[in-house]
Amino acid sequence: MQFDQMIAEMRRLALLAGDRIMQIYGAEDFEVRSKSDASPVTEADEAADALISAGLRAAFPDIPLVTEEQAETHGQSLSTFLIVDPLDGTKEFVQRRGDFTVNIAYVENGTPRFGVVYAPAKGRLFYTAAHGGSVEEKGPFGAQPGEVTPIGVNSMPDNRGLMVVASKSHRDAATDAYIDHYAVRDMTSAGSSLKFCLVATGEADLYPRLGRTMEWDTAAGDAVLRGAGGEVVRFDDHTPLAYGKPGFDNPFFIAYAPGVLLVRE
């Protein structure tokens, strides 16, 4: 497998999907429907999904593909596969808050190895490089990568004053109670997989998630964070978050810079 070619194709498709999403985002109105689980879906989700899925299947026909918007891809547990959330943060998209992303990841033996996270409304693009580290690319974005900067977590976060990032749409009392165990310097909120990327760049130190997520929500951001030196572990036992689980549901988890002293509940 030529991983540099895989990453280039994932980047290309994320940018194309982001362009299509922004066309719809800029329209005066767009259709919003509810899926069977009551979560929202828009024409932007579906258009981005069709574009990315076609591209990945053409480029990597032998690698299984899991995508949020195609229920037929959710049927079995896997070890090595591609996984896509074509529009992560649909609620942010609908409310025109900008904190939505395109997520594409490659999972190998249950671990997210490569990922691309593109936030088109914010002009931020993060991905893992073939050597395993993570970078942020500076826009404007073209067919060939522009200026890239290696990113990394805070190597020695000050546990007396952590920067914590939490969900904009899903923060709850249980999350606040867990955060209260730490000495927090400041808090910020973000939507979608941007929370992983804020930890990856050192803009935050800790991101706990005590709520339901799916693997397509987290795989790309998880890969970027791991490539930046961070970790993502289960909330209950602090073992690494694994992928390819039956049903692709995640347990509660904690994403963090390794210098953070995690609290066990």
- Report the binding-site residues: 68, 85, 87-90, 217
Annotated binding site for substrate: 68, 87-90, 217
Structure-token pair, residue 57: 């299947």
Burial of residue 34 (CB within 10 Å: 0-12, 13-18, 19+) is: exposed
> Whole-angstrom Cα distance, residue 198 to residue 179?
17
Q: How far, in Å, are 59, 137, 153, 183, 223 from residue 129 at the CA level? A: 18, 11, 16, 34, 10
Annotated binding site for Mg(2+): 68, 85, 87-88, 217
> Whole-angstrom Cα distance, residue 77 to residue 46?
24
> Mind giving me the DSSP string for 168-202?
SSS--HHHHHHHTTS-EEEEEEE-TTHHHHHHHTT
**Rg of the chain's alpha carbons, rounded to an integer?**
17
> Whole-angstrom Cα distance, residue 146 to residue 129?
14
Q: How far, in Å, are 176, 179, 238 from residue 265 at the CA level? A: 14, 11, 11
Residues in the chain: 265
Instruction: For residue 34, give the DSSP letter.
Output: E
